[in-house]
Chains A and B, each alone.
Chain A
């Protein structure tokens, strides 16, 4: 069964460093998403991406964050200058369509630890 994959599974970085989290969405899906979950808190939406542009973003997704689809299979989240509060599990998700009934399928997550 097709699935969303994410790399790395765990990333440790120092405050102020740039990190890139990588995702391979399900191949025939058109919408891509990033969510995050700070330990002990709810899963929160960050951004959605369609047709090579951001279709929606939350207030969390400020200028420190960017997303890109560098080729036909990968979808990346970049954090330019990490802060301690960026430590969280980051989930990538994808769906066939953005709104017309389709489920979002999530990857296993990347645990980001900022020290």
Chain B
């Protein structure tokens, strides 16, 4: 059964710092991995989607990497800003014979606080 975990559970950094959030998954047979941002009491905003065949995806100050064989993904945030404060979730779409399942399996989340 796929398990997705995220380390650290919480992180506080001063504004301007570069930071890395980690996501690990136990079953490497994934179809893709998606990073989300969740603001308190709000929905999930999709940040990046990495296909299983890709190593990296970039969007603005965000860079996500994927090492499928080791079951890891990282989200790198450059020059962090107070507005980046939120919970960051990773989610994997499990691969299976004949195609991926539809469901996303979510991690535990990292609560990020960027101090001004």
> Is A58 an interface position by the 8 A CB rule?
yes
Once bound together, how far apart are the Cα atoms of A109 and B108, in whole Å? 18
A104 closest partner in B (C-beta):
B104
Contact (Cβ within 8 A) B43 A106: yes
A-B pairs under 8 A by CB, number: 57
Residue A75 CB within 8 A of the other chain: no
Q: What residues of A have a CB within 8 angstroms of the CB of B32 in the complex?
A: 101
A104→B31 CA distance, assembly (Å): 13
B108 close to A99 (CB less than 8 A): no
A residues near B89, Cβ cutoff 8 Å? 43
Q: Given that A42-B107, A43-B91, A109-B43 are known contacts, is A99 also in contact with B49, CB under 8 Å in the complex?
A: no
Q: Is the pair B108, A105 in contact by a Cβ cutoff of 8 Å?
A: no
Contact: B103 with A107, CB < 8 Å? Answer: no
Complex contact A104–B43 (CB within 8 A): no
Q: How many residues of A contact B (CB 8 A)?
A: 27
Shortest distance in angstroms between B68's beta carbon and chain A's nearest beta carbon?
A: 15
Give the docked Cα–Cα distance between A50 and B109 (Å). Answer: 29
| Chain A 1-51 residues near chain B, CB threshold 8 A | 4, 6, 31, 33, 35, 42-45, 48, 50
One digit per residue, 1 when the CB lies within 8 angstroms of any chain A CB and 0 when it does not, for chain B 33-69 equals 0101000011111100101000000000000000000
Contact assessment for A99 and B46 in the assembled complex, using a CB-CB cutoff below 8 Å: no
| Interface size in chain B (residues, C-beta < 8 A) | 26
Query: Is A42 touching B100 in the complex (CB atoms < 8 A)?
Result: no
CB-nearest residue of chain B to A108: B43
With A42-B107, A101-B51 known as contacts, the answer to whether A56 contacts B43 (CB < 8 A) is: no
Cβ-defined contact, A43 with B106, below 8 A: yes
Decide if A55 is an interface residue (CB 8 Å cutoff). Answer: yes
B36, B91, B102: which contacts A99 (Cβ < 8 A)?
B102
Contact B101 A56 (CB under 8 A): yes
Cβ contact of B46, chosen from A91, A105, A109, cutoff 8 A: A105
Binding site for B on A (CB under 8 A): 4, 6, 31, 33, 35, 42-45, 48, 50, 55-56, 58, 91, 93, 98-99, 101, 103-109, 111
